[in-house]
Amino acid sequence: MMDMNTENTASEREILRIKEVADRFKQNVGTVIVGRTDIVELCFAALLCEGHILMEDVPGVGKTSLARAIARSVKGTFKRIQCTPDLLPSDVTGIHFFNQKTGEFEFRAGPVVANIVLVDEINRATPRTQSCFLECMQERQVTADLETITLPRPFMLIATQNPIELEGTFALPEAQLDRFLLKVPMGYPTTDEEIQLLHRFQAAKPLEVIESIVTTSELLELQASCSRVYVDDSVRGYITAVARATREDPTMRLGASPRGTLALQQTSQALAAMNGRDFVLPDDVKRLAVPVLAHRLLLETSATVHGLGADAAIDRILSSVPVPVD
């Protein structure tokens, strides 16, 4: 089937370690977030890829709680940025100030200098402030007063936005959306999940007692192991074909970028390892195509008028692109 005798492939011990931590992560975050194991699984895949997450949904469905639960599960530094129209780039990156005691200028780091950064309601920040996130999301560094400051590793930015209240908001540009590894909708809980939610939060506050299950150094090791999960040439060709199909589809004004192609491979490797496999299957690619690619696409106006969404467009592409069988 596959030639597994490749050099520098993740060992069985490394894969088992990733699966073990993934299971603990899902259980840990599950003490706060009722149900939505699929969303929690996607979030851990993003952690393994050191990618960024955009959570978009209506208020009150648990976006901020999920982001804080992810941060508490990783034993690292955590900062929160509440976006408003008067937020300045220097409020995010930090400033140089004159220390009268030492007689020298010193850098005071902004809240973006942390391992996990929650950017709440990112679309309420002005384009000028939103642009300051571009460098830190891609290069893992910030520039303040011509000085470049390297961000701590691992670095992950989790942004939330509300798609309903559009007054006083600024839509994220395509260049910024493309820097998010995944976009995940929370959705409403089922009836049973909502009843369980009432029971769980009646007298307790699980978010205040959630514990860390992985350190930053351990997470870096897991990320390195995850990058060595085997990807067969046939699967790599399938990933490329899916991405290129979005650019050639007549309903698309903007297809997936090469960064999106890379993201689809990286997240597929993470999902395979989380399921105890040291190789990627086409099913991994199918599972991740929508959360990885949908937010990177821009549909033609005619397609939008007829009710075609990015998710449906990707599903249609997946049904038309031949799946490797070997």
What are the tens digits of pLDDT across the range 55-89? 887 877 778 888 888 888 888 888 999 988 898 88
pLDDT confidence tier of residue 16, bands split at 50, 70 and 90: very high
How many angstroms separate the CA atoms of 259 and 175, rounded?
11
Q: Residue 158 in contact with residue 67, Cβ under 8 Å?
A: yes
User: In a 3-state reduction of DSSP, which class is residue 129?
Assistant: helix
Instruction: Please state, rounded to an integer, the average pLDDT across all residues of the chain.
Output: 85
DSSP string covering 146-200, please?
Answer: TEEEEPPSS-EEEEEE-SS--TT--PPPHHHHTT-SEEE---PPPHHHHHHHHHH
How many angstroms separate the CA atoms of 271 and 71, rounded?
20
* Tokens, residue 201: 């939060």
Question: What topology is assigned to 231-326 in CATH?
Answer: Helicase, Ruva Protein; domain 3 (1.10.8)
Ramachandran bin of 246, using left for φ above 0, alpha for ψ from -120 to 50, beta for the remaining angles: alpha
* Tokens, residue 9: 């492939």
The ranges assigned to domains in the chain are 231-326
What are the tens digits of pLDDT across the range 171-224? 888 888 899 999 988 878 888 888 888 887 777 777 777 888 888 899 999 999
Q: Kindly report which listed range (10-24, 201-215, 231-245) carries the lowest average pLDDT score.
A: 201-215
Task: Report the DSSP pairing between strands 116-120 and 156-161.
Answer: parallel
Has residue 2 got a pLDDT over 70?
A: no
Residue that has been written with the tokens 């961000």 in this structure: 151
The secondary element (H helix, E strand) that includes residue 243 is helix 233-248
Average pLDDT value for residue range 112-130:
89
